[in-house]
Amino acid sequence: MGFSYFVGAAFIIYGAYLKLMHFGDKNNLMLWGSSILFVFIIVAIIELFNFKKINPFERGFWFAGLLFLPVIVGFFYLTKARRKIITNNSQ
């Protein structure tokens, strides 16, 4: 899950850099990055809704964040929230 996030984000960021510098092949990189990041978002949302001990407000917060700001919120979800969610549900 973390691999798909970091590869997708790297492709998107590098594609945006190429777009700013007016180099070629930027659209393919951004398309691949968006596709890979889309897979991460789907897996993260499925993981959120499978755990029943999450507060509904918190679940909605992560859902909205993953839909509208996937690169930023995905990083925080992977580094902080995912560990907390999994440990709370395994108890």
Contacts of 3 (CB under 8 A, 6+ apart): none
Q: What's the domain count of the chain?
A: 1
Helix, coil or strand: residue 91: coil
Return the number of other C-beta atoms located less than 10 Å from residue 83's C-beta: 11
With a cut of 80, say whether residue 26 has pLDDT above it.
no
With a cut of 70, say whether residue 39 has pLDDT above it.
yes
Q: One-letter amino acid identity for 49?
A: F
User: What is the average per-residue pLDDT within 44-48?
Assistant: 89
pLDDT tens by residue, 62-86: 999 999 998 889 899 888 888 877 7
Return the number of other C-beta atoms located less than 10 Å from residue 73's C-beta: 20
CA dihedral defined by 13, 16, 22, 24, rounded to 10 degrees? 70
Cα distance between residue 25 and residue 34, in whole Å: 15
* Containing structural domain, residue 39: 2-90
- pLDDT in the model for residue 48: 86
